[in-house]
Amino acid sequence: MKTLTGRRIAVVLFNLGGPDDQASVKPFLFNLFNDPAIIGLPGVVRTPLARLISSRREKSARANYALMGGGSPLLPETRKQAAALEATLAPRLPDDEVRVFIAMRYWSPLTEETALEVAAFGPEEIVLLPLYPQFSTTTSQSSLKRWSAVYAGSGESRTVCCWPEAHGWIEAQAAAIATMLDEAGDRPVRVLFSAHGIPESLVSRKGDPYQEQVESTVAAVVAKLEAMGRTVDHALCYQSRVGPMKWLGPSTPEALEQAAADRVGAVVVPIAFVSEHVETLVELDIEYGELAHELGVVPYLRAPAVGTSAPFIAALADASLHALSRTGVAPYGPGCRGDWKACPCQAENRSG
């Protein structure tokens, strides 16, 4: 039973989205490559290019999604996280009605569909919470921009731009790694923190804070492991390179070659993803698993994504409550250090 003073609060979780079957692989890829945050060219050039790239990439992408039963598990996994977050927030906001929504950038439920659903809910408060720990123009900013362009409903919005060092997120990662280190036993292993790559020029020329935030996540996880009495050999590397441009490095395959040269095994940790999908289940487990086998990197172990682990969901709840407790319209995320005005996600995403 809600009190008369209770607020309707919408928490909107943003993620990339993934095709739900084989037929949606190509239109999903088209949406992705047609995003100016991914290909920064004018629409007259970008749209035909997106058509070409999605056609060319369709066959290999379909084969990868076929390995997971035909489509991406990203939406079902995100639904579990949304349900867990809603259940965690409910007792912490007993006078309010809290609903958690999912807005995907490139496949259903698309941001514009979710914007209509949220508007129909009629919230007084909205928390915009990207499920990307680290802020990038290619992910969180793209999603938040899209939201601003399509949401026309009620409510004051507060954005959590990023949370690279959020307590429960770091705790969940450290716990998953500790379990894998136990599995490795006495065998020497290197912890390979594998982040999704982005083109290097986005960092060096456009000031994308992603690399810096990924490095801060890694440092926080390593410090947490040390506090747990585990000093680890570790390295940061970047996966999922696409196209001919120079991407952040070293790549995950290069890091595996180095591990082979140093005669150590690997515990691979997805450090920029919070759920299982094509980049973990196919790229890390199958493609790089085969490479590790060829190179003699033994053992090759992979820490699971944090999913619905309790400390991680608590971190999302804390971030939401922290956002709601801010006064005024100038939000900043718990991962943003220093002057919130300098935070790159804020300029276009202040509540209206």
Ligand X SMILES: C=CC1=C(C)c2cc3[nH]c(cc4nc(cc5[nH]c(cc1n2)c(C)c5CCC(=O)O)C(CCC(=O)O)=C4C)c(C)c3C=C
Residues that bind ligand X (CB under 6 A): 16, 18, 32, 38, 57, 61, 72, 74, 132, 136, 138-139, 196, 198, 210, 242, 272-273, 277-279
Q: Say which amino acid occupies 180.
A: M
Q: CB of residue 16 vs ligand X: minimum separation in angstroms?
A: 4
Nearer to Fe ion, 292 or 336 (CB): 336
Amino acid at 196: H
Q: Does 333 bind Fe ion (CB under 5 A)?
A: yes
In the complex, the smallest distance separating the C-beta of residue 8 from Fe ion, rounded to whole angstroms, is 25
User: Binding to Fe ion by residue 317, rule CB under 5 A?
Assistant: no
- The CA-CA-CA angle for residues 53, 269, 20, to 5°, reads 40
Of 98 and 162, nearer to Fe ion (C-beta) is 162
CA–CA dist 5, 8 (Å, integer):
10
Q: Is 196 annotated as a binding residue?
A: yes
**Shortest Cβ 346–ligand X spacing (Å):** 18
Nearest approach, Cβ of 16 to Fe ion (angstroms)? 6
Query: Which C-beta is closer to ligand X: that of 165 or that of 279?
Result: 279
- Which of the choices ligand X, Fe ion, none does residue 237 contact, using the CB cut-off of 5 to 8 A by kind? none
Q: Could you tell me the two tokens for 49?
A: 């290019």
The closest residue (CB) to Fe ion is: 161
Going across the sheet that includes 156-159, the strands are 97-104, 8-15, 125-130, 156-159
For ligand X, the closer of residues 98 and 269 by Cβ is: 269
What backbone phi and psi angles, to 5 degrees, belong to 129? -130, 95
Q: Which does 225 bind (CB under 5 to 8 A by kind): Fe ion, ligand X, none?
A: none
The position carrying tokens 């986005």 is 202
What minimum distance in Å lies between the beta carbon of 215 and ligand X?
Answer: 13
In what side-by-side order are the strands of the sheet with 189-196? Answer: 234-239, 189-196, 265-270, 300-302
139 binds, among Fe ion, ligand X, none (CB under 5 to 8 A by kind): ligand X
**According to the annotation, is 277 in a ligand binding site?**
no
Provide the strand spans (E) within 50-124: 97-104
CA 188 – CA 205 distance, rounded (Å): 39
Q: 106 is in the binding site of which of Fe ion, ligand X, none (Cβ under 5 to 8 A by kind)? A: none
Which does residue 336 bind out of ligand X, Fe ion, none, counting CB within 5 to 8 angstroms by kind? Fe ion
CA distance 105 to 111: 6
The residue at minimum Cβ distance from ligand X is 18
Choice between 96 and 208, CB closer to ligand X = 208
Q: Rounded to the nearest 5°, which phi and psi values hold at 270? A: -70, 110
For ligand X, the closer of residues 178 and 198 by Cβ is 198
Q: Does the protein bind Fe ion through residue 343 (CB under 5 A)?
A: yes
Instruction: Return the bridge partners of 270, or none.
Output: 194
Closer of 300 and 332 to Fe ion (Cβ): 332
In angstroms, what is the minimal distance from the CB of 333 to Fe ion? 4
DSSP class of 126 = E
Choose which of 118, 161, 202, 256 interacts with Fe ion (CB under 5 A): 161
Is the separation of the CB atoms in 333 and 209 below 8 Å? no
* Contact between 98 and 86 (Cβ < 8 Å): yes
- Using alpha carbons, list the distances in angstroms from residue 155 to 32, 97, 166, 334: 29, 14, 26, 22
CB of 41 to Fe ion, least distance (A): 18
- Residue 299: exposed, middle, or buried by beta-carbon count in 10 A (0-12, 13-18, 19+)? middle
Residues that bind Fe ion (CB under 5 A): 161, 332-333, 336, 343, 345
Q: Residue ranges for the binding site for Fe(2+)?
A: 196, 279
